[in-house]
Amino acid sequence: MATVKTSLLRKLEKVLTKRFPSPATVKLDDLDGIIGVITSDQFAGMESMDRQNLIGEIIESHLTLDERRQVQVIVGVTPEEGTGYLATAE
C-alpha cells in the first residue's frame, strides 16, 4: 500500500509541478491520504473556492477516481501568504 501511495505522490507531484512551474513550489505529503501546499503567484486575486476548483480540475484530469479518493486536500497560496512574517507555525 505504501508503494502505491508513494507512486501516486510522485505522479501527482509531477503533474502539479508541470502546471505550476518554478518559481512556484509544490509540497506534498502522504500521511493518511495526500495533503499539500502549492505556492504560486497564479493564486493572486483568486478566492479560495476558485483555487480549489482549479486544483480539483487538474487532479480530475490526471488521476483515476480511486487515486483522487486518496487526495485529502491540497491548498493553494501565493508566495506572500505562504511566507508571511506571521505564517510560520510555532
Partner 1 sequence: MDFPPEHYFQTALQRMRQAQYLYREGASFALAIYVGGVAVECLLRAFKGRRDPSLDERHDLLRLFSASGMLRIHRDKLLANRWSEAQVDSHVRSLQAAVNEIYKLWANNYRFASEERLRAHLKEVTGYQKIKGDYLKEQTRRFLTSAQKFIEKGVVLWRL
Q: Which residues bind partner 1 (CB under 8 A)?
A: 29, 31-33, 35, 37, 44-45, 47-49, 51-53, 56, 69, 72-73, 75-78, 80-81, 84-90
Closer to partner 1 by CB, 15 or 54: give it.
54
Closer to partner 1 by CB, 15 or 35: give it.
35
Q: How far is the CB of 54 from partner 1 (least distance, A)?
A: 11
Question: DSSP alpha helices (H): ranges in the chain?
Answer: 2-19, 48-62, 65-68, 79-83
The single residue listed with the C-alpha cell 501527482 is 12
